[in-house]
Structure formats: structure tokens, C-alpha cells
Amino acid sequence: MSKVKSTMINDTILHKGMRKRLVEEIASKGISDPQVLKAIGKIPRHLFMESSFVKFAYQDKAFPIGAGQTISQPYTVAFQTQLLQVKQHSKILEIGTGSGYQAAVLIEMGAQVYTIERQRELFLKTQQFLPQLGYHPRFFFGDGYKGLPTYGPFDGIVITAGAPFIPEDLKMQLKIGGRMVIPVGQGDHQIMTLIERKAENSFEETTFGNFAFVPLLKGTN
């Protein structure tokens, strides 16, 4: 069942038609998880964007959201989410709340979402906005490199910014059998990396090609 409160949002037949075409586009690019596609098809992405970009909301592109951050390309959100293999009641940690769109996708899929944001402006804005759409992750203001050790371990961890290295603190917050999806690298492009925790001190890494993210910064702002 969709979490979106239809009574308070401007979500028209036109918007729904554009979302349907977006879902078809990302499916043609290789996204096959039906639950991911269903979530992308339900969430009114245009409400997550600044008014000047609303008409572009259902293009498969990233757009600025303020504080030097972006709302990720829908294909990228779908790709990372598909790698997580989200199940009902999966406990997911998101590093980089941003606009809240990724968190909304995860919640639509039935996940219990813990999300951390280092930019106070975005943290306050999204903390107020997401519940208006019926999405209620647990919000935290803090340094994403440190994660949330007191709330772990997690079934999945998704990092929505490019990290120059894989933070050891985050790896250790995965459950055994858990999966972390993180873009790794410096510069304009990063390599999407899946880390699976096989045992207490055993991790397996798989890479999936180049993506472009804003950098994952330390501390808070």
C-alpha cells in the first residue's frame, strides 16, 4: 500500500503518466526488481524538487536541491536500491538524506529506514517534508562517516554520495548477511561498489561501473 497522502499533494494524471514513462525508461536500462519499479512509479518526485526544476522532475537526470546537493538520477536511485535487495521490514541505514527521495523509495518497499544528514538546512527541511507525504523514517543530524552504531546492525546501508574510501565504521554496522552499496572514488566519477558481510570479519566486494555523485563530506554543516 502506498504511503503517499493523496489528499495534500498536487499529483495529477499528467504526473502519473510521466512517472509511468520514467519507470519504463529505467526498466529499459536494466532495472528489473518489480518492487523498485513500483516504488518509483508511486512517488511524486516533482514534490521533492525546487519549483524551477519541477517540469523536469520525470527526466532521468539529477537536479540541484540546495546546500550544494542534488536529488539523484532516478536510475541511480533504482540501481542502488536494487543492489540492496530490500525486503519487508529490512532495517536500512541511509547516509545522506538529501531531498528524502531515496528514503521514500525504501519506505515504499517496506523498509525501516534510519537516515542521517550532515547539512542542517536539508536535515530540517526534509524532516518536516517527508512526514507530510506519509513517510516516517528515523531522522538523524550527524556525520555519515560514523553511521549510527547504537542503532545497528543493519540489513542494508546505502550511501548517497561519493566516498573517497570505504568507511570501516559503516562496514562494521552491517549484519552478517547484510549489504552495503557505496559509490567509491574521488573526482567526477565513482565506482558503484557492493559490500556483503559474509562473516564477522569477512567481507566480499563487487563493483558495478561508473556513476557521478556529489562528495561524501565529513563532519556537519
The residues assigned a catalytic role are 72
Residue 95 vs residues 10, 145, 146: alpha-carbon distances, Å: 29, 8, 10
Sort strands 154-159 and 174-184 into parallel, antiparallel or unpaired. Answer: parallel
Cell of 84: 540492496
What is the chain's Cα-based Rg? 16
Is residue 180 within 8 Å of residue 156, measured between CB atoms? Answer: yes
Q: Which of 98, 77, 74, 85 is nearest to 33 (CA)?
A: 85
Question: Can you tell me which residue has the cell 567526477?
Answer: 188
